[in-house]
C-alpha cells in the first residue's frame, strides 16, 4: 500500500508509543452550582445543593472533563485510564492554512470588542512539520478509541489529501467509511482566477469493521422545498408524492416515503455556517455549527458513550454531546478556548434544544471537571495580544502574578453574602490603550467570578457563579446568601476570571458563631 513520507518521519516515529505522561491538576469542579442569572433560590445551603445533586441522571461517579493543555501530553496521560474506551472522536484541528485565526473579546456590558488571536495555524517548517504533528496525535487517538469506535477528522483542501493517506496508514484503508463534503455558501469569496472553494472535508474512519452507526431520525436531511411542497398525507397518516416513471413515461403513482427526510448522503448541503444572530455564536472564527456535530454524534455514538474532541475550541462538540446525553472529554491548548467552553457548558440550559430546535434545552449540565497539565510555561504566552509591544517576558509574568480583587464578606443570621467591590490590574502601563480606554468601571475587566463556600485545600468546587455571555453581558456583583448549617470556622475561596484570561483566586475564613 502506498505510504506518505515527510521530513523526520523515520526519525520521529520509529516507536509508536512515543508519548509523555504529565500529571493533571484539577482546577475546578462544576457540580450543579447556583448560576446567578438563573437563580430562583434566594439562599444557598450545603444540604440544598446535595439534594439537587442526587437528582442528576446517569452515572454517579463519572465527571465530564475539560482539559487545558497541549493535547499530545493530555492524550498520553489519558491512555492508562481510557485506552480502548472512547467511543467517538471528532477533531477539527488547524488545517495548515498559514494564517492566524481571530476571536472577539467583548468588554463590560457594551457591545464593543477587541479582536484577538484565537490560535495560530502557521508552520515554520511547512507541511512536513504539520503532518508530523498530526500523525503523532492520530496514533494516540487510535489507542484511545474503543474497538467499535469512530473518528471524524475535519479538514479542508489544504491538507485533507495528505491526511487521508495517513489515516489509511494509521487506521487501515479497510476502515475508511466516508469522505463527507460539508458544503456551505462562500459569500465573501472574491476570486475570479479559479472556482470558489466552498466545502470542508470530514474524513470518517472506524477502528474496526464492527462499529456503531445509528439510523436515527435526527441525522436525516430535510427534503428540498420542491419535495416538501409535493408531499401529501393519506388517510392512514403515511406520506407520499406522485411520481415515478416507466419506459421513459412519467407516471403519477403514489410513491410512499417517510416524512423525516432523506437518509444522508456524503454531501451535506443542509447545514449553514455559524451566524452572529444565532444563540450558539461564540465570536470565534473557526467555530463549527451544532447541527453538524448533532448528525455525527447521533450516528456514531449511543447515550452515555464517551465522545472526545482534543481540539475543542469553543466546545461545540462538547455542548452537543452534553445535550444528547453522551459523556465527553474536551481539551484545548488556548485558555480562552477553555474559558469559552466552560461558560458554554454552564450556559447550556439557555441554548437551543437539538431535537426541537425552536425550544431551549432548559436543562443544567452534568457535573464536569476543569483540569490542566502541570505545564505552567504556557501561562506566560497568553496575554501577548493585549500588551503594548516590546515588553519583556518577566513583565508579563509579574502582570499575571499581581492582579488582585477586593470583596466585602458580610454575615447575618449564619448567612454569608459576598460583594465584589474592586479589581486591580497593577501594571496597567503594560496593557494596550485600545483596551484600557474602554474600561469604565472595575467590573468591566471581569468575565466571570465564582465562589466555593466550603473550600477544601486544592479543590475548588463552584457553589455560586456569575458570568457574562455574548447575549447577556450583565454580571452580578453580589452573591446569593449562603446559609451555614454548622457553627465554627469555614473557608471560602473566590475565583475571578478577567477578560484578558487571567484567573485570580483568593481565600478567606469566616466564623459563624
Ligand atoms: C479549528 S479550532 C476548533 C474549533 C471548534 N471545532 C469549534 O467549533 O469551536 C482548533 C482549535 O485547536 C486548538 N489547538 C491547536 N493545537 C492544539 C494542541 N496541540 N493541543 C490542544 N489544542 C490545540 C486551538 O487552540 C483551537 O482552539
CA distance 316 to 385: 25
Q: Which of 72, 74, 119 to mutate to test the pocket of ligand 1 (most atoms within 8 A of CB)?
A: 119
Contact between 455 and 505 under an 8 Å Cβ cutoff? The reply is no
Fold annotation for 67-214+266-374:
Rossmann fold (3.40.50)
Residue closest to 477 by CA, chosen among 496, 460, 453: 496
Q: Which atom of ligand 1 is nearest to the CA of 93?
A: 10
CA distance 134 to 23: 22
Helix axes 71-82, 126-144, angle to 10 degrees: 20
Same fold, 67-214+266-374 and 383-512: no
Question: Grid cell 416513471 — which residue?
Answer: 245
Contact between 159 and 190 under an 8 Å Cβ cutoff? The reply is no
User: How far does CA 203 lie from the centroid of its chain?
Assistant: 20
| Grid cell for residue 1 | 500500500
pLDDT on residue 55:
47
Q: How many CB atoms lie within 10 A of CB 47?
A: 9
Mean pLDDT of 44-48: 65
pLDDT tens digit string along 339-384?
Answer: 999 999 999 999 999 998 899 999 999 999 999 887 655 454 555 6
Q: Which of 138, 337, 382 to mutate to test the pocket of ligand 1 (most atoms within 8 A of CB)?
A: 337
199: which strand partners? 183
Q: Which atom of ligand 1 is nearest to the CA of 337?
A: 27
Contact between 332 and 313 under an 8 Å Cβ cutoff? The reply is yes
User: How far does CA 99 lie from the centroid of its chain?
Assistant: 21
Question: Grid cell 508519548 — which residue?
Answer: 19
Distance from residue 399's CA to the centre of ligand 1 (Å): 26
pLDDT exceeds 70 at position 62: yes
Distance from residue 313's CA to the centre of ligand 1 (Å): 5
pLDDT exceeds 90 at position 304: yes
Q: Whose CA is nearest to atom 2 of ligand 1?
A: 313
Looking only at the bridges linking them, the beta strands covering 86-91 and 503-512 are unpaired
Q: Whose CA is nearest to atom 5 of ligand 1?
A: 313
Q: Which of 19, 93, 155, 289 to mutate to test the pocket of ligand 1 (most atoms within 8 A of CB)?
A: 93
Distance from residue 70's CA to the centre of ligand 1 (Å): 10
Distance from residue 287's CA to the centre of ligand 1 (Å): 10
pLDDT on residue 397:
62
pLDDT tens digit string along 221-258?
Answer: 988 777 778 888 888 878 888 877 777 777 788 888 77
* Percentage of residues in the chain having pLDDT higher than 70: 89
pLDDT exceeds 50 at position 271: yes
In 201-289, which residue ranges form alpha helices assigned H by DSSP?
225-230
Distance from residue 44's CA to the centre of ligand 1 (Å): 37
Beta strands in 184-289 (DSSP E): 199-206, 232-233, 239-246, 249-257, 267-268
Q: Whose CA is nearest to atom 16 of ligand 1?
A: 333
Q: Which of 153, 160, 182, 332 to mutate to test the pocket of ligand 1 (most atoms within 8 A of CB)?
A: 332
User: How far does CA 254 lie from the centroid of its chain?
Assistant: 46
Domain 383-512 has what CATH class?
A: mainly beta
Distance from residue 445's CA to the centre of ligand 1 (Å): 25
Contact between 435 and 68 under an 8 Å Cβ cutoff? The reply is no
pLDDT exceeds 90 at position 457: no
pLDDT tens digit string along 67-85?
Answer: 999 999 999 999 999 999 9
Residue closest to 308 by CA, chosen among 174, 468, 444, 143: 143
Mean pLDDT of 196-214: 97
Provide the mean pLDDT of the chain.
Answer: 88
Question: Grid cell 515588553 — which residue?
Answer: 391
Q: Whose CA is nearest to atom 4 of ligand 1?
A: 313
Contact between 302 and 325 under an 8 Å Cβ cutoff? The reply is no
Q: Whose CA is nearest to atom 3 of ligand 1?
A: 313
Q: How many CB atoms lie within 10 A of CB 264?
A: 15
pLDDT tens digit string along 419-439?
Answer: 999 999 887 888 888 888 999
Region for 58 from its dihedrals, namely left if φ exceeds 0, alpha if ψ lies in -120 to 50, beta otherwise: left
Distance from residue 370's CA to the centre of ligand 1 (Å): 17
Q: Whose CA is nearest to atom 10 of ligand 1?
A: 93
pLDDT exceeds 90 at position 302: yes
SS3 282: coil
For residue 39, give every residue at least 6 positions away whose Cβ sits within 8 Å of its Cβ, in sequence order, or none: 480
Q: Whose CA is nearest to atom 27 of ligand 1?
A: 313
Q: Which atom of ligand 1 is nearest to the CA of 314?
A: 9
Distance from residue 331's CA to the centre of ligand 1 (Å): 8
Distance from residue 79's CA to the centre of ligand 1 (Å): 20
pLDDT on residue 378:
47
pLDDT on residue 200:
97
pLDDT on residue 383:
59
Residue closest to 402 by CA, chosen among 425, 380, 377, 384: 425
Stronger pLDDT, 287 or 242, i.e. the higher one: 287
Distance from residue 115's CA to the centre of ligand 1 (Å): 18
Q: Pocket around ligand 1: residues whose beta carbon is below 6 Å from it? A: 70-71, 92-94, 119, 284, 286-288, 311, 313-314, 316, 331-334, 337
User: How far, in Å, are 229, 236, 257, 510 from residue 242 at the CA level?
Assistant: 12, 17, 11, 76
Q: Which atom of ligand 1 is nearest to the CA of 312?
A: 5
| Grid cell for residue 61 | 461517579
DSSP readout, 125-180? Answer: THHHHHHHHHHHHHHHHHHHEEEEEEEEEEE-TTTHHHHHHHHHHHH-GGGEEEEE
Looking only at the bridges linking them, the beta strands covering 482-483 and 44-45 are parallel
Q: Whose CA is nearest to atom 13 of ligand 1?
A: 311
Q: What does the domain layout of the chain look like in residue ranges? A: 67-214+266-374, 225-257, 383-512
Distance from residue 119's CA to the centre of ligand 1 (Å): 7
* DSSP code, position 296: H
Q: How many helices and strands, by DSSP H and E, does the chain display? A: 11, 23
Distance from residue 315's CA to the centre of ligand 1 (Å): 10
Distance from residue 312's CA to the centre of ligand 1 (Å): 5
CA distance 481 to 33: 14
pLDDT exceeds 80 at position 47: no
Contact between 156 and 200 under an 8 Å Cβ cutoff? The reply is yes
Q: Whose CA is nearest to atom 7 of ligand 1?
A: 287
Distance from residue 15's CA to the centre of ligand 1 (Å): 26
CA distance 286 to 120: 12
Q: Whose CA is nearest to atom 24 of ligand 1?
A: 119
* DSSP code, position 374: S
Amino acid at each position: 500500500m502506498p505510504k506518505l513520507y515527510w521530513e523526520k518521519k523515520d526519525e520521529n516515529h520509529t516507536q509508536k508509543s512515543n508519548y509523555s505522561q504529565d500529571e493533571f491538576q484539577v482546577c475546578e469542579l462544576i457540580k450543579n452550582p447556583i448560576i446567578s442569572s438563573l437563580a430562583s433560590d434566594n439562599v444557598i445551603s450545603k444540604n440544598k445543593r446535595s439534594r439537587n445533586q442526587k437528582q442528576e441522571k446517569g452515572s454517579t461517579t463519572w465527571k465530564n472533563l475539560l482539559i487545558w493543555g497541549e493535547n499530545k501530553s493530555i492524550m498520553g496521560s489519558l491512555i492508562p485510564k481510557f485506552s480502548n474506551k472512547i467511543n467517538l472522536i471528532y477533531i477539527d484541528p488547524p488545517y495548515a492554512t498559514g494564517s492566524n485565526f481571530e476571536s472577539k473579546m467583548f468588554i463590560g456590558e457594551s457591545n464593543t470588542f477587541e479582536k484577538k488571536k484565537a490560535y495560530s495555524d502557521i508552520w515554520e517548517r511547512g507541511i512536513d512539520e504539520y503532518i508530523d504533528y498530526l500523525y503523532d496525535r492520530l496514533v494516540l487517538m487510535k489507542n484511545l478509541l474503543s474497538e467499535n469506535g469512530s473518528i471524524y477528522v475535519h479538514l479542508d483542501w489544504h491538507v485533507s489529501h495528505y491526511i487521508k493517506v495517513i489515516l489509511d496508514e494509521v487506521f487501515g484503508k479497510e476502515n475508511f467509511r466516508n469522505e463527507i463534503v460539508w458544503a456551505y455558501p462562500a459569500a465573501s469569496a472574491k476570486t475570479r482566477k479559479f472556482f470558489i472553494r466552498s466545502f470542508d472535508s470530514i474524513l470518517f474512519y472506524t477502528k474496526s469493521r464492527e462499529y456503531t452507526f445509528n439510523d436515527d431520525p435526527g441525522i436525516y436531511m430535510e427534503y428540498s422545498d420542491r419535495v416538501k411542497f409535493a408531499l401529501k398525507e393519506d388517510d392512514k397518516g403515511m406520506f407520499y408524492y406522485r411520481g415515478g416513471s416507466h419506459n421513459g413515461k412519467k407516471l403519477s403513482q403514489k410513491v410512499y416515503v417517510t416524512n423525516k427526510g432523506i437518509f444522508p448522503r456524503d454531501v451535506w448541503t443542509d447545514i449553514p455556517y455559524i451566524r452572529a444572530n444565532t444563540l450558539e455564536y461564540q465570536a470565534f472564527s473557526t467555530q463549527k455549527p451544532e447541527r453538524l456535530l448533532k448528525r455525527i454524534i447521533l450516528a456514531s455514538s449511543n447515550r452515555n458513550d464517551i465522545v472526545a474532541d482534543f481540539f475543542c475550541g469553543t466546545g461545540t462538540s462538547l455542548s452537543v454531546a452534553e445535550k444528547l446525553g453522551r459523556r465527553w472529554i474536551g481539551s484545548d491548548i488556548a485558555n480562552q478556548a477553555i474559558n469559552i467552553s466552560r461558560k458554554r457548558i454552564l450556559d447550556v440550559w439557555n441554548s437551543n434544544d437539538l431535537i426541537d430546535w425552536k425550544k431551549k434545552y432548559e436543562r443544567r449540565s452534568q457535573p464536569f471537571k476543569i483540569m490542566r497539565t502541570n505545564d505552567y510555561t504556557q501561562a506566560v504566552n497568553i496575554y501577548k495580544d493585549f500588551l503594548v509591544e516590546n515588553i519583556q517576558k518577566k513583565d508579563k509574568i509579574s502582570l499575571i502574578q499581581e492582579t488582585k480583587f477586593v470583596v466585602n464578606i458580610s454575615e447575618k443570621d449564619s448567612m454569608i453574602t459576598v460583594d465584589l467591590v474592586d479589581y486591580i490590574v497593577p501594571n496597567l502601563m503594560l496593557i494596550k490603550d485600545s483596551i484600557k480606554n474602554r474600561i469604565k468601571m472595575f467590573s468591566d475587566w471581569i468575565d466571570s467570578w465564582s465562589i466555593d463556600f466550603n473550600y477544601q485545600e486544592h479543590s475548588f468546587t463552584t457553589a455560586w457563579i456569575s458570568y457574562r455571555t455574548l447575549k447577556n453581558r450583565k454580571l452580578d456583583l453580589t452573591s446569593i446568601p449562603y446559609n451555614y448549617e454548622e457553627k465554627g470556622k469555614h473557608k471560602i475561596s473566590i475565583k475571578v476570571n478577567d477578560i484578558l484570561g487571567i484567573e485570580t483566586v483568593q481565600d478567606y475564613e469566616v466564623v459563624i458563631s
